[in-house]
Structure 1
Amino acid sequence: MKKLIENVAIVLMLIFLATSVAGFILDRPVLVSYAYSESMTPTIDKGDLFFINPLSKAGDVGDIIIFHRRDGWTVHRIYAITEEGYITKGDNNVATDQQDGVYPPVTEKDVIGKVIVIGGHPLVIRGGGDFIENLRSKMNNVYIVGALIIIGTVLTFSGGKKNKKHRKKSKRFFKVPMKTVYAAVSVLIIAGFLFVTMASWGTLAFTYSSTLAGGQKEGWYLPGTTFEKNLSVENHAVYPFYYFIEPKSERVRLLSEDTFEIPGDGSHSVLLAVSVPGDTRIYREEIEVHSYPAILPSGTIRWAYNIDPYLPLLLYSIELAAIMMVFYYLAGIGEGEIVRIRVRRRSILSKITGDGLL
């Protein structure tokens, strides 16, 4: 039982590492991320690594959340809660993010998780983000992918060969073939890739006021008029991404293309035309954004997206599964023994749990 618990812990650790590494490469916070600025100092200093609970998105005043806004990912504290969403503020900032009207309140669907807090203090690794940032600046994506392949190969093939003396004793054990373990690892890799991709989906949002005092202040417009709005879509990842944008309101229409590709560390400007309603009040408009790694032809992704936004994920799964299968045959992965569970036990419980060894 002790060994079984250890094996489960190892698998969970591998899943954590795989999703975290993928998140850093694609610049999509999943389970761990780091602070890019000093806005949360001294709670989370610039360059500090912090851990994320992606299952907790509904926040309360005082919670530290990770959310997406049009200029990237942000980790700030919930300062207040309104009907429109969360009012957020960095611990080191004087004003809230929404005070000048540049950023709208944060909705729950913009939140990807909350910072894990233990004993009233966030779980951080001081300076951990600086190390990762330096590593990313010195290694391009080809080297990173190559390193991951080498590490995965070493982990996959380690323990495959046994000496003859050990093979004689292994007759009392149930053997799990190498191909079974490889299949399980492949499924975890594909699932992690899809999870990171979906974590990047979100919305671009902005607010404006329909008022009879339109024009007297930025963001104030006369009822019944139309104004143009520029939004910037940024890709902070090292890989190029395809982006698909779609206004969620009939009041907003696109004046530029709704599909485009952004290279790594690049940006793209989106021009909108907004029709101001006749009712005088504050309005919030949202632009839905779906992004996909550029590892398939753009025409294929566009065709699949027009059918359903989740269909490109299926195509990615097929492509990755094919790559895993080709690697399986080229590497000549055989029937090496990985997990051994004793067959002869005195109790039924022992037969079920066994003492699997890695």
Structure 2
Amino acid sequence: MVWRAVALLLAAFVLVSVFGQIAPISYVNSGSMAPALSTGDGFVAVPAAVADDPDPGDVIVYRSQEIEAGGLVTHRIVGRTDGGFVTKGDANPVTDQQAGEPPVSRDRIVAQVFAVDGRVVSLSGLGTVSMTIRSAVRTSPVGLPPASMELLVLAAGAVLFWRGR
């Protein structure tokens, strides 16, 4: 049963990567979400277009306007206002909005972090592996985007690992 779930997730990663969505496997590069996600942990980012409506307690990936130089931020929704969602890194002392970020509107949400029974499913150390692969494979010889090549390398590594057991 576990192998079937892994196969379905892998198939979903491939389909999402091929059709150009935001990379379905992502990672955190800070400790702001500890202990749910530690620095270097990977996670499955379910694209907002196919994810359920976000609620307080969900961890989302959103495009910031003020913090993180306008980049992507992975934080938990801790509340709602008329202007959007209030977000906060689990390890941060204040909300993103107290730090100057406007409330997060739905159109700025890129993805939701995959969770089971409210617990984030993290892939320990995958971020470190992912960063290494992405830096080594800027373009693929067959024209696939780096995220797709990363997925293929990870899948090949997983197959080799399990066959060798």
After TM superposition, the score normalised by the length of structure 2 is: 0.69
Q: Is 2:40 the counterpart of 1:47? A: yes
2:95 alignment counterpart: 96
Does residue 17 of structure 1 match 2:14? yes
In structure 2, C-alpha distance between the alignment counterparts of 1:13 and 1:61, rounded to whole Å: 28
Please tell me whether residue 118 in structure 1 is matched to residue 116 in structure 2. Answer: yes
1:141 paired residue number: 138
Residues 103 and 11 (structure 1), Cα distance of their counterparts in 2 relative to 1, 3 Å cut: closer
CA contact (8 A) 2:44 2:121 kept: yes
Contact 1:65 1:115 in 2 (8 A): yes
Distance 1:57 1:30, change over 3 A: farther
State yes or no: 1:59 paired with 2:54: yes
1:35 maps to which of 17, 28, 33:
28
1:132–1:86 distance in 2 versus 1, CA, 3 Å: same
CA contact (8 A) 1:57 1:113 kept: no
Deviation for aligned residue 1:121:
1.5
CA shift, 1:69, in A, is 1.3
Q: Supply the RMSD in Å over aligned alpha carbons.
A: 3.1
Shift of residue 58 of structure 1? 2.4
User: Structure 1 length as normaliser, TM-score?
Assistant: 0.34
More strand as a share of residues: 1
Q: Percent identity?
A: 32
Are 1:20 and 1:32, in contact at CA under 8 Å, matched by a contact in 2? no
Q: Deviations over 1:268-300 (max 9, x none)?
A: xxxxxxxxxxxxxxxxxxxxxxxxxxxxxxxxx
The structure-2 alpha-carbon separation of the partners of 1:22 and 1:80, relative to structure 1 and needing over 3 Å to count, comes to: same
How many residues align? The count is: 136
User: Residue 84 in 1 paired to residue 83 in 2?
Assistant: yes
In structure 1, the gaps of 5 or more residues are 1-5, 151-188, 197-358
Q: What is the correspondence of 1:278-293 to structure 2 with a 5 Å cutoff?
A: none
Offset of residue 135 of structure 1: 2.0
Larger Rg: 1
Say if 1:35 and 1:11 are closer, same or farther in 2 by CA, change over 3 A.
Answer: closer
Task: Supply the distance in 2 between the matched residues of 1:119 and 1:30 (Cα, whole angstroms).
Answer: 23
Note the residue ranges of structure 2 that are not aligned, 5 or more in a row.
148-165
Task: Please tell me the residue identity of whatever aligns with 1:122.
Answer: V
